[in-house]
Structure 1
């Protein structure tokens, strides 16, 4: 939520001018919102749809990809997909904005979505959704509303799991050391200390760690690694919480809770229970240590458990056994996993023909239907998989080559934590993965300000958060005293935090009047 805007340059001013001109152009605008209302899509008319989204390792599909050809046939469209490398995506959007030349439907990151929604760039889909039952069924209305103005839906959410990763622990190490599954924060500490001090891997060296943290380079609070799953145990908010008077309070000002949490981490660091490398660890480093057999506790992605995590671990130790570890309860009985809110949207160009808008909505609705969702996930029967029996399927070689799931993974999908689970997978593994997600759902802790935006936070948040975070890391490493927390809070508030608190509460009151 607290991301820094780039400095205003001539380029961004030109973009803003182009978008403003776009909003007022009588040559391109037939009607403002709900333009598709009353238009009936003719399924017999073939319509070209230009779609743009991000791509990652391996890139996207070629134009003649079998999945594109099949979806064209099913919906009588000519789908042209532009796959833009994720590192260049924001730049690509800005170039398109400057030339007023957006695709028909595209992925819009939260920052651009919030920045451009008042410029008449995106179609308001709210009046149309009643025609598309699968969108209504599989996309929660609460998620659609987030980051949209009241009574307007300028986009449909791109799904990120609210709670994806979960802690896992080496059960074989616990068994070897005679330890039980930790349920409280004190028990967690004792288990982690044993993992660091008592040679759980039996190699005669003290070369294992208790648990790790990773420092977000952007400065947003929430240590990565195992430490991120302990904040709720000490009463810290997931970004924002409500006080007894219904006022939003940011985690950065929770002095007592911060002193308890940072004090715990400081002790763990001093005693060698917290990984000494923690201040320099970055994303995934704690999981790398788990997979290498050097750590016994780390967050894992359940969907990648049997693909990425367990195979290298078993190469290191064939007897290794991982099980889920729920966040330990603090002295007040609190525990939980912080849920996330992305704000990214799939948006439809407000300027395109109304018939095309309807066909795009039909495409999105089809992708969420039982038939369409099965198709965009598993591909074409007989090409990407084959049915062996009513309950057994086999993945075919073309699936590995074609990566038939890209449209689902990188563009649009149901709100479904199991979206990467395929029907040809081992049922026992699927059951374990589902159990991870089911358990996570029971303990998720929401951000009380999810979906709200502060202009000051957008401009200054990353800078003041980073400075605040730097102080927390120094305190944990013993370079500054615990009392520096009070100074860090005061500086955060004076540098823009007080204004952020004011703006966030104003936005909260608007939504909850």
Structure 2
């Protein structure tokens, strides 16, 4: 069904109460959700920051000594802060540090890491985006084991799930803190105004989905007298994966990369019957023009761009961007347009599955750090997970980036120019899908955004092998996946028969897939 986004469920109630408490108390709590797996405390349980009491034989850091710290962060558009940025100065003053950020563009981040590895000269704290690199360097002793000291930092412990903390780490070891990403960052959406104009009901099954998508293609939903719209779209990633249709992959029984069967991990490349069923469906959609004819050359965001461009009727979108970007952009072209959430359609056996992300990015500390540097860095991170620090990392500094007017908050121009939120966006943050909701956002808006995350929870489609990267996969896995996906694309476009998927699966296994399965299962056994 499509969801009335003004309603919210549990997550909406949580954030509603929290934002209400901000207005009543004046000190601000902006979010208290989780990603649905939390079993180690709620996001609202943090303290107001400051130094924890040290345990064991470690002396408590009293901040009397100024420490020089280096932090390397992968950046996106706009780059990072200058050394004299208000947010940097705030941390320097609060923790008596001289914090030097190394802002590295995302497309060259791994290259930078390899240069540092060659000289064995790592920053004090940095990110590891690549799971295979994390595993390899962890075994070489590059990272500090945080397990013995983590209990001294309650805001971290109470706002990171046990599952995420354990993922990719050996038993009883924590070599890296997880960087949270909302599990349902990409949610299925549909043009409600197109449904209404064509007199269609919200699709509940893959068959109904097909009929609606076909009507979007053939019945002129934009009213311009031309057949220039599409039902749905998808794209091919550079890593050799069909993306943008996880809701259909799951509906036809495919695993989210891997599935656990009788205690063994099984890759989706061996699920030939499920692939043939999905490919048959997509082949017909392509032939009928229901599926975007340009899917094979689309860039990752193109299906979403085409939704915003008034040509695509169904697409995965980010709830945090629907009301502030997608809908305003679309309504410039079609003023009456309306984008609503769509539940994943049920497949032939009743399965419904949503795009589900498991972040494998880790925040690590250099194993060579002195004890006082270890404490000071973890105090800074712990502060960012506290109630006070969480507000600071999301909204910036009161009086500079926003101001409080009675019971309301007003964003100041410096928020847009300073971008004080980028550390929470690019580095580390609480396990809370409301990370992009600001103090000045209206309650109605917050409720609508949070409803998307809450409504998708029943369709969680997990990958039990997330973060397990075998040696063979590191060497040749992407090339194998690209060849396998190329074979699927040929079936969808009609240049090869559906039965050719059997041969593609065998080629994947023979080319190294068998070894990937063996090694991935060994890694799984080692960490579980």
Deviation at 1:37, TM superposition (A): 6.1
Aligned to 1:61: 81
**Inter-partner Cα distance in structure 1 for 2:467 and 2:313:** 36
> Contact 2:155/2:382 (CA < 8 Å) preserved in 1?
yes
Among 293, 297, 300, which residue is 1:280 paired with?
297
Matches within 5 A, 1:244-393: 245-390=262-407, 392-393=408-409
Matches within 5 A, 1:96-495: 96-110=116-130, 111-220=132-241, 223-225=242-244, 227-243=245-261, 245-390=262-407, 392-495=408-511
1:501 aligns with 2:520: no
Q: 1:36 to 1:258 in 2, by over 3 A?
A: farther
Structure 1 segments of 4+ aligned residues over 4 angstroms from their partners:
34-37
> Contact 2:246/2:353 (CA < 8 Å) preserved in 1?
no
Deviation at 1:58, TM superposition (A): 1.3
**Inter-partner Cα distance in structure 2 for 1:108 and 1:241:** 25
Aligned to 1:4: none
> Contact 1:377/1:408 (CA < 8 Å) preserved in 2?
yes
TM-score, normalised to structure 2, is 0.87
Deviation at 1:131, TM superposition (A): 0.5
> Contact 1:36/1:358 (CA < 8 Å) preserved in 2?
no
Deviation at 1:36, TM superposition (A): 9.7
> Contact 1:279/1:473 (CA < 8 Å) preserved in 2?
yes
> Contact 1:209/1:273 (CA < 8 Å) preserved in 2?
yes
> Contact 1:214/1:278 (CA < 8 Å) preserved in 2?
yes
Deviation at 1:336, TM superposition (A): 1.0
What per-residue deviation string (whole Å, max 9, x for no partner) do you get for residues 272-312 of structure 1? 11111112112111111111101111111111112221111
1:45 aligns with 2:65: yes
**Inter-partner Cα distance in structure 1 for 2:78 and 2:466:** 33
Segment of structure 1 superposing worse, 468-477 or 439-448: 439-448
Deviation at 1:396, TM superposition (A): 0.5
Deviation at 1:124, TM superposition (A): 0.5
> Contact 2:55/2:149 (CA < 8 Å) preserved in 1?
no
Aligned to 1:29: none
**Inter-partner Cα distance in structure 2 for 1:263 and 1:322:** 29
- SS of residue matched to 1:231: helix
**Inter-partner Cα distance in structure 2 for 1:133 and 1:431:** 29
Deviation at 1:382, TM superposition (A): 1.3
Deviation at 1:88, TM superposition (A): 2.1
Deviation at 1:431, TM superposition (A): 1.2
**Inter-partner Cα distance in structure 2 for 1:466 and 1:308:** 32
Deviation at 1:442, TM superposition (A): 2.3
CA RMSD of aligned residues (A): 1.6
5+ long unaligned stretches in structure 2? 1-53
Deviation at 1:35, TM superposition (A): 13
Deviation at 1:423, TM superposition (A): 1.4
Count of residues in Structure 1 that have an aligned counterpart in Structure 2: 474
Segment of structure 1 superposing worse, 399-408 or 141-150: 141-150
Aligned to 2:527: 511
Aligned to 2:102: 82
- SS of residue matched to 2:127: strand
Aligned to 2:46: none
Segment of structure 1 superposing worse, 486-495 or 88-97: 88-97
**Inter-partner Cα distance in structure 2 for 1:498 and 1:94:** 29
**Inter-partner Cα distance in structure 2 for 1:360 and 1:486:** 52
> Contact 1:36/1:357 (CA < 8 Å) preserved in 2?
no
Deviation at 1:511, TM superposition (A): 3.4
**Inter-partner Cα distance in structure 2 for 1:205 and 1:256:** 38
**Inter-partner Cα distance in structure 1 for 2:144 and 2:321:** 36
5+ long unaligned stretches in structure 1? 1-33
> Contact 2:55/2:152 (CA < 8 Å) preserved in 1?
no
Segment of structure 1 superposing worse, 503-512 or 318-327: 503-512
> Contact 2:187/2:355 (CA < 8 Å) preserved in 1?
no
Aligned to 2:18: none
**Greater relative CO (CA pairs within 8 A, separation 6+):** 2
Deviation at 1:38, TM superposition (A): 2.1
**Inter-partner Cα distance in structure 1 for 2:111 and 2:468:** 25
> Contact 2:480/2:508 (CA < 8 Å) preserved in 1?
yes
**Inter-partner Cα distance in structure 1 for 2:57 and 2:268:** 44
What per-residue deviation string (whole Å, max 9, x for no partner) do you get for residues 441-478 of structure 1? 22111012223232212222111111000000000000
- SS of residue matched to 2:438: coil
TM-score, normalised to structure 1, is 0.90
> Contact 1:146/1:452 (CA < 8 Å) preserved in 2?
no
